[in-house]
Structure 1
Amino acid sequence: MLPLLLLLLLLCFLFSPPTIHSLNQEGLYLHQFKLSIDDPDSALSSWNQRDSVPCSWDGVKCDPTTLSVTQLDLSNTNIAGPFPASILCNLENLTSITLFNNSINSTLPLDVSLCRSLVHLDLSQNLLTGALPHTLSELPNLKYLDLTGNNFSGQIPGSFGRFQKLEVLSLVYNLLDETIPASLGNITTLKMLNLSYNPFFPGRIPPELGNLTNLEVLWLTQCNLVGVIPDSLGNLKNLKDLDLALNNLYGSIPSSLTELTNVIQIELYNNSLSGELPPGMSRLTALRLLDASMNHLTGKIPDELCRLPLESLNLYENRFEGELPESIANSPNLYELRLFGNRLTGKLPKNLGKNSPLRWLDVSSNNFWGEIPATLCDHGKLEELLMIFNKFSGEIPATLGTCLTLTRVRLGSNRLSGEIPAGIWGLPHVYLLELVDNSFSGSIARTIAGASNLSLLILSRNNFTGTIPDEIGWLDNLVEFSGNDNNFNGPLPQSIVNLGQLGILNLHNNKLSGELPKGIRSWKKLNELNLANNEIGGRIPDEIGSLSVLNFLDLSYNQFSGKLPLGLQSLKLNQLNLSYNRLSGELPHLLSKDMYKNSFLGNPGLCGDIKGLCDGRSEAKAAGYVWLLRAIFIVATLVFVVGVVWFYFKYRNFQRARAIDKSKWTLMSFHKLGFSENEILDCLDEDNVIGTGSSGKVYKVVLGNGEIVAVKKLWSGMKKGIDSGDIEKGQVQDSVFDAEVETLGKIRHKNIVKLWCCCTTRDCKLLVYEYMANGSLGDLLHSSKAGLLDWPTRYKIALDAAEGLSYLHHDCVPPIVHRDVKSNNILLDGDYGARVADFGVAKVVEATGKGTKSMSVIAGSCGYIAPEYAYTLRVNEKSDIYSFGVVLLELVSGKRPVDPEFGEKDLVKWVCTTLDQKGVDHILDPKLDSCFKQEICKVLNIGLHCTNPLPINRPSMRRVVKMLQEVGPDNQTKAAKKDGKLSPYYYDDGSDHGSVA
Structure 2
Amino acid sequence: MLFHFLSFLLLLFFIFTFPSLSLSLNQEGLYLLQLKSSLSDPDSALSSWNPRHPTPCNWRGVSCDAATASVTSLDLSNANLAGPFPSFLCRLQNLSYISFYFNNINSTIPDISTCRNLVHLDLSQNLLTGELPHTLADLLNLKYLDLTGNNISGDFPASFGRFQKLEVLSLVYNLLDGTIPAFLGNISTLKMLNLSYNPFSPGRIPPELGNLTNLEILWLTECNLVGEIPDSLGKLKKLADLDLALNHLVGNIPSSLTELVSVVQIELYNNSLTGELPRGFSNLTNLRLLDVSMNRLTGKIPDELTRLPLESLNLYSNNLEGTLPPSIADSPALYELRIFQNRLTGELPQNLGKNSPLRWFDVSSNQFTGPIPTSLCEKGKLEEMLMIYNSFSGQIPSSLANCRSLNRIRLGYNKLSGEIPTGFWGLPHVYLLELVNNSFSGPIGKSIANAANLSLLIISRNEFNGFLPEELGLVNNLAKLSASDNKFNGALPKSIVNLDGLGILDLHGNELEGELPNGIDSLKKLNELNLANNKFSGKIPDGIGSLSVLNYLDLSDNQLTGRIPLTLQSLKLNQLNLSNNLLSGELPPLFDKDMYKNSFLGNPGLCGNYSGSCGGKDEDKLKGYVWLLRSIFILAGLVFVVGVVWFYLKYRNYQKAKAIDKSKWTLMSFHKLGFSEYEILDCLDEDNVIGRGSSGKVYKVVLSSGEAVAVKKLWGGLKKGCDSVDLEKGHAESQVQDDGFQAEVETLGKIRHKNIVKLWCSCTTRDCKLLVYEYMPNGSLGDLLHSCKSGSLGWPTRYKIIVDAAEGLSYLHHDCVPPIVHRDVKSNNILLDGDFGARVADFGVAKVVDAAGKVAKSMSVIAGSCGYIAPEYAYTLRVNEKSDIYSFGVVILELVTGRLPIDPEFGEKDLVKWVCTTLNQKGVDYVLDSKLNPCFKEEMCKVLNIGLLCTSPLPINRPSMRRVVKLLQEAGAENQLKAAKKDGKLTPYYYEDGSDQGSVA
Would you call these one fold, judging by a TM-score over 0.5? yes
The aligned amino acid for 1:235 is: K
Kindly provide the CA deviation profile for residues 309-351 of structure 1, in whole angstroms up to 9, marking residues without a partner as x: 1000000111111111111111100000001011111111111
Paired residue for 2:842, among 819, 833, 844? 833
The aligned amino acid for 1:22 is: S
Corresponding position of 1:129: 129
Identify if the C-alpha distance between structure 1 residues 824 and 452 changes in structure 2 by more than 3 Å, giving closer, same or farther.
farther
Distance 1:408 1:980 in 2: 28
Distance 1:126 1:541 in 2: 61
Mapping of residues 619-768 of structure 1, within 5 Å: 621=617, 624-630=620-626, 706-707=722-723
Question: Which consecutive residues of structure 2, in runs of 5 or more, have no partner in the other structure?
Answer: 1-18, 638-689, 694-713, 728-734, 745-768, 815-820, 833-838, 847-865, 872-879, 901-910, 976-994
SS of 1:169's equivalent in the other structure is: strand
Identify if the C-alpha distance between structure 1 residues 27 and 780 changes in structure 2 by more than 3 Å, giving closer, same or farther.
farther
Distance 1:440 1:210 in 2: 56
Paired residue for 1:52, among 43, 51, 54? 54
Q: Contact 1:709–1:771 at 8 Å: present in 2 too?
A: no
Mapping of residues 795-944 of structure 1, within 5 Å: 795=806, 832-833=841-842, 884=887, 886-890=889-893, 895-896=898-899, 905-906=923-924, 922-923=939-940, 943-944=947-948
Does 2:37 correspond to 1:39?
no
* Identical-pair percentage: 60
Corresponding position of 2:408: 408
Q: Contact 1:797–1:833 at 8 Å: present in 2 too?
A: no
Kindly provide the CA deviation profile for residues 75-119 of structure 1, in whole angstroms up to 9, marking residues without a partner as x: 11111111121x11111111111111111112112x122222111
Does 2:65 correspond to 1:63?
yes
What do you get for the CA RMSD once the two structures are aligned? 4.8
Identify if the C-alpha distance between structure 1 residues 63 and 150 changes in structure 2 by more than 3 Å, giving closer, same or farther.
same
Shift of 1:487: 0.8
> Which 10-residue stretch deviates more, 433-442 or 91-100?
91-100
Distance 2:925 2:105 in 1: 32
Q: Contact 2:566–2:588 at 8 Å: present in 1 too?
A: yes
Shift of 1:270: 0.7
SS of 1:393's equivalent in the other structure is: strand
Shift of 1:629: 4.3
Q: Contact 1:427–1:451 at 8 Å: present in 2 too?
A: yes
Identify if the C-alpha distance between structure 1 residues 864 and 129 changes in structure 2 by more than 3 Å, giving closer, same or farther.
closer
The aligned amino acid for 1:99 is: F
Distance 1:64 1:792 in 2: 58
Shift of 1:551: 1.4
Shift of 1:794: 3.4
Corresponding position of 1:614: 612
The aligned amino acid for 2:103 is: N
Distance 2:135 2:126 in 1: 20
TM-score (norm 1): 0.71
Distance 2:844 2:430 in 1: 42
Question: Which consecutive residues of structure 1, in runs of 5 or more, have no partner in the other structure?
Answer: 1-16, 642-687, 692-699, 712-744, 755-769, 804-809, 813-817, 838-859, 867-876, 925-936, 969-974, 985-989
Q: Contact 2:360–2:383 at 8 Å: present in 1 too?
A: yes
Q: Contact 1:347–1:368 at 8 Å: present in 2 too?
A: yes
SS of 2:358's equivalent in the other structure is: coil
Q: Contact 2:21–2:51 at 8 Å: present in 1 too?
A: no
Identify if the C-alpha distance between structure 1 residues 551 and 336 changes in structure 2 by more than 3 Å, giving closer, same or farther.
same
Identify if the C-alpha distance between structure 1 residues 800 and 422 changes in structure 2 by more than 3 Å, giving closer, same or farther.
farther
Distance 1:21 1:132 in 2: 40
Q: Contact 1:500–1:525 at 8 Å: present in 2 too?
A: yes
The aligned amino acid for 2:961 is: L
Q: Contact 1:798–1:888 at 8 Å: present in 2 too?
A: no
Distance 2:495 2:829 in 1: 36
Identify if the C-alpha distance between structure 1 residues 583 and 373 changes in structure 2 by more than 3 Å, giving closer, same or farther.
same
Distance 2:470 2:545 in 1: 25
SS of 2:66's equivalent in the other structure is: coil
Distance 2:971 2:559 in 1: 61
Q: Contact 2:889–2:946 at 8 Å: present in 1 too?
A: no
Q: Contact 1:383–1:406 at 8 Å: present in 2 too?
A: yes
Identify if the C-alpha distance between structure 1 residues 478 and 779 changes in structure 2 by more than 3 Å, giving closer, same or farther.
farther
Q: Contact 2:925–2:997 at 8 Å: present in 1 too?
A: no
Corresponding position of 1:671: none
Distance 1:61 1:710 in 2: 63
Distance 1:190 1:66 in 2: 32
Shift of 1:967: 7.2
Identify if the C-alpha distance between structure 1 residues 554 and 352 changes in structure 2 by more than 3 Å, giving closer, same or farther.
same
Shift of 1:394: 0.8
The aligned amino acid for 1:66 is: T
SS of 1:31's equivalent in the other structure is: helix
The aligned amino acid for 2:102 is: N
SS of 1:514's equivalent in the other structure is: strand
Shift of 1:43: 1.2
Identify if the C-alpha distance between structure 1 residues 300 and 439 changes in structure 2 by more than 3 Å, giving closer, same or farther.
same
Shift of 1:965: 7.3
Distance 2:521 2:57 in 1: 68
Does 2:965 correspond to 1:964?
no
The aligned amino acid for 1:94 is: L
Kindly provide the CA deviation profile for residues 830-852 of structure 1, in whole angstroms up to 9, marking residues without a partner as x: 99327899xxxxxxxxxxxxxxx
Kindly provide the CA deviation profile for residues 914-951 of structure 1, in whole angstroms up to 9, marking residues without a partner as x: 9999798x449xxxxxxxxxxxx9x9885342356xx6
Mapping of residues 170-319 of structure 1, within 5 Å: 170-319=170-319
Kindly provide the CA deviation profile for residues 369-398 of structure 1, in whole angstroms up to 9, marking residues without a partner as x: 111111111111000000111111111111
Shift of 1:51: 2.1
Does 2:378 correspond to 1:382?
no
SS of 2:489's equivalent in the other structure is: strand
Q: Contact 2:554–2:575 at 8 Å: present in 1 too?
A: yes
Shift of 1:510: 0.4
Kindly provide the CA deviation profile for residues 464-521 of structure 1, in whole angstroms up to 9, marking residues without a partner as x: 1111111111112111100000011111111111112211111100011112212222
Identify if the C-alpha distance between structure 1 residues 992 and 47 changes in structure 2 by more than 3 Å, giving closer, same or farther.
farther
Q: Contact 2:885–2:961 at 8 Å: present in 1 too?
A: no
Shift of 1:570: 2.0
Q: Contact 1:886–1:908 at 8 Å: present in 2 too?
A: no
Identify if the C-alpha distance between structure 1 residues 561 and 709 changes in structure 2 by more than 3 Å, giving closer, same or farther.
farther
Corresponding position of 1:22: 24
Q: Contact 1:292–1:314 at 8 Å: present in 2 too?
A: yes
Shift of 1:24: 1.2
Does 2:406 correspond to 1:392?
no
Q: Contact 2:831–2:840 at 8 Å: present in 1 too?
A: no
Corresponding position of 1:353: 353
Identify if the C-alpha distance between structure 1 residues 947 and 193 changes in structure 2 by more than 3 Å, giving closer, same or farther.
same
Distance 1:497 1:564 in 2: 21
Shift of 1:878: 15
Identify if the C-alpha distance between structure 1 residues 395 and 236 changes in structure 2 by more than 3 Å, giving closer, same or farther.
same
Distance 1:896 1:980 in 2: 22
Identify if the C-alpha distance between structure 1 residues 790 and 710 changes in structure 2 by more than 3 Å, giving closer, same or farther.
farther
Corresponding position of 1:794: 805
Q: Contact 1:492–1:516 at 8 Å: present in 2 too?
A: yes
Shift of 1:265: 0.1
Mapping of residues 138-157 of structure 1, within 5 Å: 138-157=138-157
Corresponding position of 1:453: 453
The aligned amino acid for 1:624 is: D
SS of 1:368's equivalent in the other structure is: strand
SS of 2:37's equivalent in the other structure is: helix
Identify if the C-alpha distance between structure 1 residues 250 and 506 changes in structure 2 by more than 3 Å, giving closer, same or farther.
same
Corresponding position of 1:597: 597
Paired residue for 2:949, among 929, 945, 949? 945
Q: Contact 2:429–2:451 at 8 Å: present in 1 too?
A: yes
Corresponding position of 2:685: none
The aligned amino acid for 2:109 is: L
Distance 1:193 1:919 in 2: 34
Corresponding position of 2:708: none
Distance 1:545 1:514 in 2: 20
SS of 2:183's equivalent in the other structure is: helix
Distance 1:503 1:919 in 2: 22
Q: Contact 1:776–1:824 at 8 Å: present in 2 too?
A: yes
Number of residues paired by the alignment?
A: 793
Corresponding position of 1:3: none
Shift of 1:888: 3.8
